[in-house]
Amino acid sequence: MKKINIGIIGLGRVSQIAYLAQLTKNKRINSISICDTNLELLNKISKKYNISKFYSKYQVMLEKEDLDLIFLIVNRFFAENLAEKILEHKKNFILFSEKPFALSLQKANKLVKLAQKKNKTFFVGYMKRCDNGIRLLKNKINKLNLGRISFVDYNSFDGDSFDKKDKYIKYKFKKISKKKNTSELKFLNTQCHSINLLEYLFGKLSLDHSYVNLAGEGITIFKNNKNIKFVLKNRFNKKTEWYEKIKIFFEKGFIEVDISAPFFRNKATLISYRKYSNRNSTRINLFKKKWCFENQVKNVINYTTIKKNNSKLKLYPELCQAKSCLNEFKLIKKIFA
Ligand SMILES: NC(=O)c1ccc[n+]([C@@H]2O[C@H](COP(=O)([O-])OP(=O)(O)OC[C@H]3O[C@@H](n4cnc5c(N)ncnc54)[C@H](O)[C@@H]3O)[C@@H](O)[C@H]2O)c1
């Protein structure tokens, strides 16, 4: 089986903690090329990981290297324009962008159409779908004899998502974008995860009601095509511990999902359920405790390897294609209209 060549654009904190460390160990990768406009960081990373193909301009990297897969992990304010240039490129490769892959519905639509026109697979990094706890939940949700779902309560209060113990090469953050971080963009940045996860678990959502304040925090109610209501409460908060919990209420009981902070690789999402007739909850144990980012990287690499070798493509439903997350942009636009 032929191994793949990958390129990584953006070597910041997320790239180093959640991607580079694993990609440099993956046996299915033949070569890694890296790119960052911060020359000092580029130099340090190339030395740390012994990577000889390094570029300060992504255009040069695309021309010189024969890449099968590109990871785009730059600041969210620059991602959409870079994605456009990368998708437009004449060479054929798979693009994987961190979320959110665009800052507006209009741009998201444009990028999805461009990917289709250029026949490029375009994945977006919604790693929570690859969490082993979420996988287990998706599998068990209708098998616990709790009856029909009455409604779903989602508390997404953020918190500190990074583990202070994680080591990475520090760099000076350069803000080049003139775009203001509006409350809508802040909501998009954090709640695109929640909406994406709800749609992954329960199907397409429509907006029922929204009580979001000027800061972009509040309560939003969605419904799906079975008329189940989803109450999403959100707050922006970087200071306290991560707090993200979903409670699924059924006719005969409930399931509680305690989602772990994204960058704590050793913390697992916890799932328990209880029947109203019972005083105690039952914990559903995870057999494997693998980090969601690790699972996601593995899936993207496997998908790309299979495609390169013209083998029968296995579709990984956990991997999110840009075309399937356009509804998030539509819903958020409506909330802030
Ligand atoms: N999945 C998640 O839960 C999650 C959480 C946090 C952040 N993110 C996403 O991860 C991405 C990266 O976040 P970060 O905090 O590491 O960002 P950052 O801004 O700290 O680092 C990005 C790096 O990209 C480089 N860069 C910028 N423009 C470039 C260009 N044109 N060519 C090459 N390099 C360029 C910068 O020099 C910097 O080193 C963002 O899209 C963010 O939204 C995802």
Cβ(335) – ligand 1 distance below 6 Å: no
Question: How many whole angstroms separate alpha carbon 111 and alpha carbon 98?
Answer: 14
**In ligand 1, which atom is closest to the CA atom of 75?**
19
Question: How many whole angstroms separate alpha carbon 44 and alpha carbon 33?
Answer: 14
Half-sphere exposure of 317 (CA within 13 A, CB side): 9
Question: How many whole angstroms separate alpha carbon 88 and alpha carbon 91?
Answer: 9
The superfamily CATH assigns to domain 135-288+329-335 is: Dihydrodipicolinate Reductase; domain 2 (3.30.360.10)
Cβ(81) – ligand 1 distance below 6 Å: no
Expressed in angstroms and rounded, the spacing between residue 81 Cα and the centre of ligand 1 is 13
Tokens of 273: 């359920």
**In ligand 1, which atom is closest to the CA atom of 189?**
43
**In ligand 1, which atom is closest to the CA atom of 293?**
1
Please report the beta strands in the chain, taking only residues with DSSP state E, as ranges in sequence order. Answer: 4-9, 29-35, 53-55, 69-72, 94-98, 122-125, 149-156, 206-212, 218-223, 229-234, 244-250, 253-258, 270-275, 282-284, 320-321
Cβ(49) – ligand 1 distance below 6 Å: no
Expressed in angstroms and rounded, the spacing between residue 75 Cα and the centre of ligand 1 is 3
Per-residue pLDDT, 178 = 78
pLDDT digits (tens, 9 = 90+) for 160-170: 889 888 999 99
Domain 4-127+292-327 falls under CATH 3.40.50.1100: no
**In ligand 1, which atom is closest to the CA atom of 14?**
16
Cβ(58) – ligand 1 distance below 6 Å: yes
Question: How many whole angstroms separate alpha carbon 244 and alpha carbon 257?
Answer: 8
Per-residue pLDDT, 325 = 94
Cβ(262) – ligand 1 distance below 6 Å: yes
Per-residue pLDDT, 237 = 87
Residues paired with 163 in a beta bridge = none
Instruction: Work out the burial of residue 110: count CB atoms within 10 Å of its CB; fewer than 13 is exposed, 13-18 middle, 19 or more buried.
Output: middle
- Output the CA torsion 138→196→24→121 (10° steps): 110
**In ligand 1, which atom is closest to the CA atom of 58?**
32
Q: What is the pTM of this model?
A: 0.97
Per-residue pLDDT, 286 = 73
Identify the three-state secondary structure at position 47.
Answer: helix
Residue where the block lists tokens 């059924």: 250
Question: How many whole angstroms separate alpha carbon 168 and alpha carbon 164?
Answer: 10
**In ligand 1, which atom is closest to the CA atom of 127?**
1
- Please list, in sequence order, all residues whose beta carbon lies within 8 angstroms of the beta carbon of residue 124, skipping any fewer than 6 positions away: 96, 97, 98, 99, 100, 101, 320, 321, 322, 325
Question: How many whole angstroms separate alpha carbon 73 and alpha carbon 96?
Answer: 9
Residues of the chain with CATH 3.30.360.10: 135-288+329-335
Tokens of 173: 């953050």
Cβ(191) – ligand 1 distance below 6 Å: no
Cβ(172) – ligand 1 distance below 6 Å: no
Expressed in angstroms and rounded, the spacing between residue 38 Cα and the centre of ligand 1 is 12
Residues of the chain with pLDDT under 50: none
Per-residue pLDDT, 153 = 98
Max Cα distance, the chain (Å): 65
Residue with CA at minimum distance from ligand 1 atom 17: 75
Residues of the chain with CATH 3.40.50.720: 4-127+292-327
